[in-house]
Amino acid sequence: MIELKRGDRKNGAIQALLDAFDDDPVAAVHAVRDYVADRQSQARREVAPKGPVLLSVKDITKTYKLGRQRLEVLKGVTLDIYEGEFVAITGASGSGKSTLLQLMGGLDKPTKGDIIFAGKSLAKLSDGKLSAFRRDTIGFVFQFFYLQPFLKLQQNLEVPGMFAKSPRRVRHETARNLADKVGLGDRLTHYPKELSGGQMQRAAIARALLNHPKILLADEPTGNLDSVNGRAIIDLFETIRGELGMTVVIVTHDPAIAARADREIHLKDGVLA
Protein backbone atom coordinates (compact mmCIF):
# COMPACT_ATOMS: atom_id res chain seq x y z
CA MET A 1 0.00 0.00 0.00
CA ILE A 2 1.28 3.45 -0.85
CA GLU A 3 1.45 5.78 2.11
CA LEU A 4 2.02 9.38 1.38
CA LYS A 5 3.52 11.75 3.85
CA ARG A 6 2.39 15.30 4.17
CA GLY A 7 5.74 16.45 2.76
CA ASP A 8 5.16 14.57 -0.48
CA ARG A 9 1.98 16.44 -1.10
CA LYS A 10 3.55 19.70 -0.05
CA ASN A 11 6.65 19.43 -2.20
CA GLY A 12 4.52 18.52 -5.14
CA ALA A 13 6.64 15.50 -6.16
CA ILE A 14 3.66 13.19 -6.41
CA GLN A 15 1.56 15.74 -8.23
CA ALA A 16 4.40 16.29 -10.70
CA LEU A 17 4.55 12.54 -11.40
CA LEU A 18 0.79 12.35 -11.84
CA ASP A 19 0.90 15.33 -14.19
CA ALA A 20 3.73 13.80 -16.19
CA PHE A 21 1.68 10.66 -16.82
CA ASP A 22 -1.58 12.45 -17.22
CA ASP A 23 -2.69 10.34 -20.18
CA ASP A 24 -1.53 6.98 -18.79
CA PRO A 25 -2.97 6.16 -15.34
CA VAL A 26 -1.19 2.78 -15.11
CA ALA A 27 2.20 4.37 -15.76
CA ALA A 28 1.30 7.08 -13.23
CA VAL A 29 0.59 4.49 -10.52
CA HIS A 30 3.89 2.72 -11.28
CA ALA A 31 5.82 5.97 -11.21
CA VAL A 32 4.30 6.95 -7.85
CA ARG A 33 4.93 3.47 -6.42
CA ASP A 34 8.57 3.56 -7.53
CA TYR A 35 8.98 7.05 -6.10
CA VAL A 36 7.57 5.98 -2.73
CA ALA A 37 9.63 2.74 -2.66
CA ASP A 38 12.72 4.76 -3.43
CA ARG A 39 12.01 7.21 -0.67
CA GLN A 40 11.29 4.41 1.80
CA SER A 41 14.51 2.64 0.92
CA GLN A 42 16.41 5.89 1.32
CA ALA A 43 14.87 6.27 4.78
CA ARG A 44 15.78 2.66 5.60
CA ARG A 45 19.36 3.22 4.50
CA GLU A 46 19.60 6.19 6.83
CA VAL A 47 18.51 4.14 9.86
CA ALA A 48 20.13 0.86 8.78
CA PRO A 49 21.87 -0.81 11.70
CA LYS A 50 25.61 -1.15 11.31
CA GLY A 51 26.60 -3.95 13.62
CA PRO A 52 29.98 -5.66 13.63
CA VAL A 53 31.34 -6.96 10.33
CA LEU A 54 30.13 -10.53 9.76
CA LEU A 55 31.78 -11.28 6.46
CA SER A 56 34.73 -9.64 4.73
CA VAL A 57 35.63 -10.21 1.12
CA LYS A 58 39.33 -9.37 0.82
CA ASP A 59 40.61 -8.52 -2.61
CA ILE A 60 39.37 -11.69 -4.27
CA THR A 61 39.93 -12.69 -7.84
CA LYS A 62 38.31 -15.67 -9.51
CA THR A 63 39.63 -17.09 -12.76
CA TYR A 64 37.96 -20.00 -14.51
CA LYS A 65 40.09 -22.12 -16.83
CA LEU A 66 38.36 -23.47 -19.92
CA GLY A 67 40.92 -25.52 -21.81
CA ARG A 68 43.62 -23.00 -22.69
CA GLN A 69 41.37 -20.05 -22.11
CA ARG A 70 41.39 -18.18 -18.81
CA LEU A 71 38.32 -16.23 -17.86
CA GLU A 72 38.95 -13.65 -15.16
CA VAL A 73 35.50 -13.20 -13.67
CA LEU A 74 36.26 -11.31 -10.45
CA LYS A 75 39.19 -8.92 -10.61
CA GLY A 76 39.87 -7.77 -7.06
CA VAL A 77 36.66 -7.41 -5.08
CA THR A 78 36.73 -6.11 -1.50
CA LEU A 79 33.64 -5.55 0.62
CA ASP A 80 32.22 -5.98 4.13
CA ILE A 81 28.81 -7.31 5.11
CA TYR A 82 27.63 -6.19 8.56
CA GLU A 83 25.60 -8.30 10.97
CA GLY A 84 21.88 -7.83 10.43
CA GLU A 85 22.27 -6.13 7.05
CA PHE A 86 20.07 -6.75 4.02
CA VAL A 87 22.29 -6.32 0.96
CA ALA A 88 21.44 -6.61 -2.73
CA ILE A 89 24.07 -7.55 -5.33
CA THR A 90 23.24 -6.31 -8.82
CA GLY A 91 24.98 -6.25 -12.19
CA ALA A 92 24.54 -7.35 -15.78
CA SER A 93 24.31 -11.00 -16.74
CA GLY A 94 27.79 -12.51 -16.62
CA SER A 95 29.18 -9.79 -14.34
CA GLY A 96 30.09 -12.35 -11.66
CA LYS A 97 27.21 -12.03 -9.16
CA SER A 98 26.62 -15.76 -8.67
CA THR A 99 30.35 -16.38 -8.56
CA LEU A 100 30.74 -13.79 -5.80
CA LEU A 101 27.81 -15.20 -3.81
CA GLN A 102 29.18 -18.75 -4.09
CA LEU A 103 32.57 -17.61 -2.85
CA MET A 104 30.95 -15.74 0.04
CA GLY A 105 29.17 -18.94 1.05
CA GLY A 106 32.19 -21.20 0.69
CA LEU A 107 30.70 -23.15 -2.23
CA ASP A 108 33.90 -22.45 -4.12
CA LYS A 109 37.31 -20.95 -3.35
CA PRO A 110 38.74 -17.74 -4.79
CA THR A 111 41.78 -17.90 -7.06
CA LYS A 112 43.38 -15.17 -4.94
CA GLY A 113 42.30 -13.28 -1.84
CA ASP A 114 40.24 -14.51 1.08
CA ILE A 115 36.82 -14.46 2.68
CA ILE A 116 36.82 -13.85 6.41
CA PHE A 117 33.66 -15.04 8.13
CA ALA A 118 33.23 -13.98 11.76
CA GLY A 119 37.00 -13.68 11.97
CA LYS A 120 37.70 -17.05 10.35
CA SER A 121 39.59 -17.38 7.06
CA LEU A 122 37.74 -19.61 4.59
CA ALA A 123 40.75 -19.91 2.27
CA LYS A 124 42.60 -21.88 4.95
CA LEU A 125 39.84 -24.43 5.54
CA SER A 126 40.12 -27.96 4.18
CA ASP A 127 37.28 -29.15 1.93
CA GLY A 128 35.75 -31.10 4.83
CA LYS A 129 35.88 -28.12 7.20
CA LEU A 130 34.50 -25.86 4.48
CA SER A 131 31.54 -28.14 3.94
CA ALA A 132 30.84 -28.25 7.71
CA PHE A 133 31.10 -24.45 7.75
CA ARG A 134 28.51 -24.19 4.95
CA ARG A 135 26.16 -26.62 6.65
CA ASP A 136 26.30 -24.85 10.04
CA THR A 137 26.59 -21.22 9.01
CA ILE A 138 25.07 -20.53 5.61
CA GLY A 139 21.53 -20.79 4.30
CA PHE A 140 21.36 -20.90 0.49
CA VAL A 141 18.31 -20.06 -1.60
CA PHE A 142 18.30 -20.40 -5.40
CA GLN A 143 16.12 -19.33 -8.29
CA PHE A 144 14.92 -22.87 -9.05
CA PHE A 145 14.12 -23.92 -5.44
CA TYR A 146 15.73 -27.40 -5.71
CA LEU A 147 13.18 -29.15 -3.52
CA GLN A 148 13.30 -32.95 -3.68
CA PRO A 149 10.25 -33.95 -5.76
CA PHE A 150 9.81 -37.31 -4.05
CA LEU A 151 9.77 -35.93 -0.50
CA LYS A 152 6.83 -34.30 1.23
CA LEU A 153 7.29 -30.75 2.51
CA GLN A 154 8.02 -31.89 6.09
CA GLN A 155 10.90 -34.12 4.91
CA ASN A 156 12.13 -31.55 2.41
CA LEU A 157 12.49 -29.02 5.22
CA GLU A 158 14.35 -31.54 7.38
CA VAL A 159 17.03 -32.44 4.83
CA PRO A 160 19.70 -30.00 6.15
CA GLY A 161 19.07 -31.29 9.68
CA MET A 162 19.79 -34.85 8.53
CA PHE A 163 23.22 -33.77 7.27
CA ALA A 164 23.82 -31.89 10.52
CA LYS A 165 22.78 -35.05 12.44
CA SER A 166 20.38 -33.09 14.60
CA PRO A 167 18.02 -35.29 16.64
CA ARG A 168 14.86 -36.38 14.83
CA ARG A 169 12.50 -34.71 17.31
CA VAL A 170 14.31 -31.37 17.06
CA ARG A 171 14.31 -31.59 13.26
CA HIS A 172 10.57 -32.33 13.15
CA GLU A 173 9.75 -29.52 15.52
CA THR A 174 11.99 -26.93 13.82
CA ALA A 175 10.65 -27.85 10.39
CA ARG A 176 7.08 -27.44 11.62
CA ASN A 177 7.82 -24.07 13.22
CA LEU A 178 9.55 -22.83 10.08
CA ALA A 179 6.69 -24.01 7.88
CA ASP A 180 4.38 -21.93 10.09
CA LYS A 181 6.68 -18.95 9.83
CA VAL A 182 6.60 -19.01 6.01
CA GLY A 183 2.83 -19.63 5.92
CA LEU A 184 2.99 -23.30 4.92
CA GLY A 185 2.02 -24.88 8.23
CA ASP A 186 -0.94 -26.61 6.59
CA ARG A 187 1.09 -28.00 3.69
CA LEU A 188 3.53 -30.31 5.47
CA THR A 189 2.16 -33.46 3.83
CA HIS A 190 2.22 -31.99 0.33
CA TYR A 191 4.75 -32.79 -2.37
CA PRO A 192 6.53 -29.89 -4.12
CA LYS A 193 4.49 -30.40 -7.29
CA GLU A 194 1.38 -29.64 -5.25
CA LEU A 195 2.75 -26.20 -4.30
CA SER A 196 2.76 -22.95 -6.28
CA GLY A 197 6.03 -21.29 -7.30
CA GLY A 198 5.80 -18.76 -4.48
CA GLN A 199 5.06 -21.54 -1.97
CA MET A 200 7.99 -23.60 -3.26
CA GLN A 201 10.32 -20.65 -2.76
CA ARG A 202 8.96 -20.08 0.75
CA ALA A 203 9.59 -23.77 1.43
CA ALA A 204 13.16 -23.42 0.14
CA ILE A 205 13.67 -20.45 2.46
CA ALA A 206 12.32 -22.42 5.44
CA ARG A 207 14.69 -25.26 4.55
CA ALA A 208 17.61 -22.84 4.36
CA LEU A 209 16.82 -21.71 7.92
CA LEU A 210 16.66 -25.18 9.47
CA ASN A 211 20.19 -25.21 10.87
CA HIS A 212 19.91 -21.65 12.20
CA PRO A 213 22.43 -20.14 9.77
CA LYS A 214 24.14 -16.83 10.47
CA ILE A 215 23.53 -15.56 6.97
CA LEU A 216 21.09 -16.21 4.15
CA LEU A 217 22.55 -16.04 0.63
CA ALA A 218 19.96 -15.99 -2.13
CA ASP A 219 20.72 -16.09 -5.86
CA GLU A 220 17.85 -14.49 -7.81
CA PRO A 221 15.26 -15.84 -5.37
CA THR A 222 12.48 -14.02 -7.21
CA GLY A 223 13.78 -14.72 -10.72
CA ASN A 224 11.25 -17.48 -11.31
CA LEU A 225 8.27 -15.71 -9.76
CA ASP A 226 5.75 -13.08 -10.86
CA SER A 227 6.03 -9.64 -9.29
CA VAL A 228 3.41 -10.24 -6.58
CA ASN A 229 5.05 -13.48 -5.40
CA GLY A 230 8.47 -11.85 -5.77
CA ARG A 231 7.43 -9.05 -3.47
CA ALA A 232 6.05 -11.56 -0.95
CA ILE A 233 9.43 -13.32 -0.91
CA ILE A 234 11.23 -10.05 -0.21
CA ASP A 235 8.69 -9.30 2.54
CA LEU A 236 9.59 -12.68 4.00
CA PHE A 237 13.32 -11.89 3.90
CA GLU A 238 12.60 -8.63 5.72
CA THR A 239 10.58 -10.48 8.38
CA ILE A 240 13.32 -13.06 8.82
CA ARG A 241 15.94 -10.37 9.12
CA GLY A 242 13.81 -8.52 11.68
CA GLU A 243 12.63 -11.47 13.77
CA LEU A 244 15.66 -13.74 13.62
CA GLY A 245 18.31 -11.01 13.36
CA MET A 246 19.54 -12.70 10.21
CA THR A 247 21.94 -11.16 7.72
CA VAL A 248 20.57 -11.43 4.16
CA VAL A 249 22.42 -11.06 0.85
CA ILE A 250 20.46 -11.43 -2.38
CA VAL A 251 21.49 -11.33 -6.00
CA THR A 252 18.81 -9.69 -8.11
CA HIS A 253 18.20 -8.21 -11.54
CA ASP A 254 15.18 -6.31 -10.30
CA PRO A 255 15.87 -2.65 -9.41
CA ALA A 256 12.66 -2.47 -7.34
CA ILE A 257 13.91 -5.34 -5.16
CA ALA A 258 17.41 -3.91 -4.90
CA ALA A 259 15.85 -0.64 -3.75
CA ARG A 260 14.34 -2.43 -0.75
CA ALA A 261 17.73 -3.55 0.56
CA ASP A 262 19.74 -1.44 3.01
CA ARG A 263 22.54 -1.29 0.49
CA GLU A 264 23.18 -2.20 -3.12
CA ILE A 265 26.49 -3.59 -4.32
CA HIS A 266 26.88 -3.26 -8.07
CA LEU A 267 29.29 -5.45 -10.02
CA LYS A 268 30.57 -4.40 -13.40
CA ASP A 269 33.15 -6.33 -15.39
CA GLY A 270 34.38 -8.17 -12.31
CA VAL A 271 34.85 -5.14 -10.06
CA LEU A 272 32.57 -3.09 -7.80
CA ALA A 273 31.10 -0.16 -9.65
Q: Which residues bind Mg ion (CB under 5 A)?
A: 98
Site mask for ligand ATP (CB under 6 A), range 38-67, x = bound = --------------------------x-x-
Q: For Cα atoms 243, 261, 104, give the angle at the middle one, nearest 5 degrees.
A: 85
Distance in angstroms (rounded) separating the CA atoms of residues 142 and 107: 13
Distance in angstroms (rounded) separating the CA atoms of residues 216 and 257: 16
Q: Is there binding between residue 73 and ligand ATP (CB under 6 A)?
A: yes
What is the Cα gyration radius of the chain?
Answer: 20
Amino acid at the residue 236: L
Q: Is there binding between residue 144 and ligand ATP (CB under 6 A)?
A: no
Question: Which CB sits closer to ligand ATP, 51 or 94?
Answer: 94
CB of 223: closest distance to Mg ion in angstroms?
Answer: 9
- Helix (H/G/I), strand (E/B), else coil: 181: helix
Number of CB atoms found within 10 A of residue 14's CB? 19
Among 32, 81, 97, 263, binds ligand ATP (CB under 6 A): 97
Piece of 76-84, 96-104, 151-159, 176-184 that binds ligand ATP (CB under 6 A): 96-104
Site mask for ligand ATP (CB under 6 A), range 225-244, x = bound = --------------------
- Helix (H/G/I), strand (E/B), else coil: 164: coil
Among 12, 49, 94, 255, binds ligand ATP (CB under 6 A): 94
Which H/E stretch holds residue 113? strand 112-117
**Torsion, CA 89, CA 148, CA 235, CA 196, rounded to 10:** 120
Amino acid at the residue 174: T
If contact means CB under 5 to 8 A according to the sort of partner, which of ligand ATP, Mg ion, none does residue 1 touch? none
CB of 72: closest distance to ligand ATP in angstroms?
Answer: 9
Q: Which residues bind to ligand ATP, rule: CB under 6 A?
A: 64, 66, 71, 73, 91, 93-99
